[in-house]
Amino acid sequence: MAGERIAFVPTMGNLHGGHVSLVQAARERAQRVVVSVFVNPLQFGPNEDYAAYPRTPDEDRKLLEALKVDVLFMPEVDEMYPRGQALTARVHVPELEDILCGAFRPGHFMGVATIVTKLLNLVQPDVALFGEKDFQQLMIIRRAAEDLCMPVEIVGLPTTREPDGLAMSSRNRYLTPEQRAVAPQIFAALERARRAIESGRRDFAEIEREGMGMLEAAGFRPDYFSVRDANTLAPPSDESEELVVLTAARIGRARLIDNVRAKRPR
């Protein structure tokens, strides 16, 4: 393996089409592909779905074998946190970790940044790949890698969607058939906001209210629906050209997230 490039795809398992796209993109970027499957308890809050999170190790293993992944890393919790979660050193990314999803899931992004740092240190890849569905997560990982001088390229890949627009996610499993039928309204609401921005509207607060209203009318309990600068995640300034519209919305047992990019016309 000496001299060969290594690409790494960290996952929490229950693999779907989005993960397959990441593995295929990894294969194009390196001679060796490493995938980890680890449901990381540190990134779940006390009342969240850590225990219920779908675990399908046998199916995951078979799929990764079929994709000809070179190394599958499936550690146990006490291997990753030998001193226990409470005592482990932590990675924080100030500000970014507290906004949007971070405001509703305190500690979540610390858990993500910590485990990703540990996995990158263990695997030592040249490149690591993440889905853009978790846009805030991707930005936090990029920031941690840059600030902590990690010698790795962080690559984000476009969200993989079902034919009706729903972003692929392991948490889609929580949806009943009725909830699944309305779930594409998340992407529809984001797309409506994107079109409004790209047609020249500047009233972002009103666009956000319309998005919240559309989701509520479809039966969701949205945590937020927000227009942000795609490079900083701050509210858009007059200079912001690349925007992103992000949302997190609850329905039944599921909390779904999604986002779309929008280019502001000049």
Active site amino acids: 19
Residue 156 contacts by C-beta under 8 Å, 6 or more apart in sequence?
129, 130, 131, 132, 138, 142
Q: Is 10 in the site for ligand PAF (CB under 6 A)?
A: yes
Closer Cβ to ligand PAF, 122 or 188, answer by number:
122
Q: How far apart are CA 250 and CA 216, in angstroms?
A: 10
Q: How far apart are CA 191 and CA 259, in angstroms?
A: 9
Q: Is 12 in the site for ligand PAF (CB under 6 A)?
A: yes
Strand partners of residue 248: 224, 257
Q: How far apart are CA 142 and CA 147, in angstroms?
A: 9
Q: How far apart are CA 259 and CA 159, in angstroms?
A: 9
| Torsion angle (degrees, nearest 10) of CA 222, 225, 230, 231 | -70
Closer Cβ to ligand PAF, 64 or 112, answer by number:
112
Q: Which of 124, 153, 126 is nearest to 138 (CA)?
A: 153
Helix/strand/coil percent split, the chain, to 5 = 40, 20, 40
> Which member of 21, 40, 226, 259 binds ligand PAF (CB under 6 A)?
40
Q: Is 254 in the site for ligand PAF (CB under 6 A)?
A: no
Burial, 40: exposed, middle or buried (Cβ in 10 Å; 0-12, 13-18, 19+)? buried
> Which member of 11, 159, 240, 259 binds ligand PAF (CB under 6 A)?
11
Q: Which of 112, 132, 136, 109 is nearest to 224 (CA)?
A: 136
In angstroms, give the least distance from the CB of 209 to ligand PAF: 29
Residues 103-122 that bind ligand PAF (CB under 6 A): 112, 115-116
Applying CB under 6 A, which part among 8-16, 185-193, 200-208, 228-236 lies near ligand PAF? Answer: 8-16
Closer Cβ to ligand PAF, 112 or 218, answer by number:
112
Residues 179-208 that bind ligand PAF (CB under 6 A): none
Q: Is 18 in the site for ligand PAF (CB under 6 A)?
A: no
Applying CB under 6 A, which part among 6-14, 22-30, 155-163, 181-189 lies near ligand PAF? Answer: 6-14
In angstroms, give the least distance from the CB of 263 to ligand PAF: 26
Report how many residues bind ligand PAF under the rule CB under 6 A.
10
- Cβ contact 223:250 at 8 Å: yes
In angstroms, give the least distance from the CB of 251 to ligand PAF: 20
Q: Is 134 in the site for ligand PAF (CB under 6 A)?
A: yes
In angstroms, give the least distance from the CB of 49 to ligand PAF: 13
Residues that bind ligand PAF (CB under 6 A): 10-12, 40, 43, 112, 115-116, 134, 137
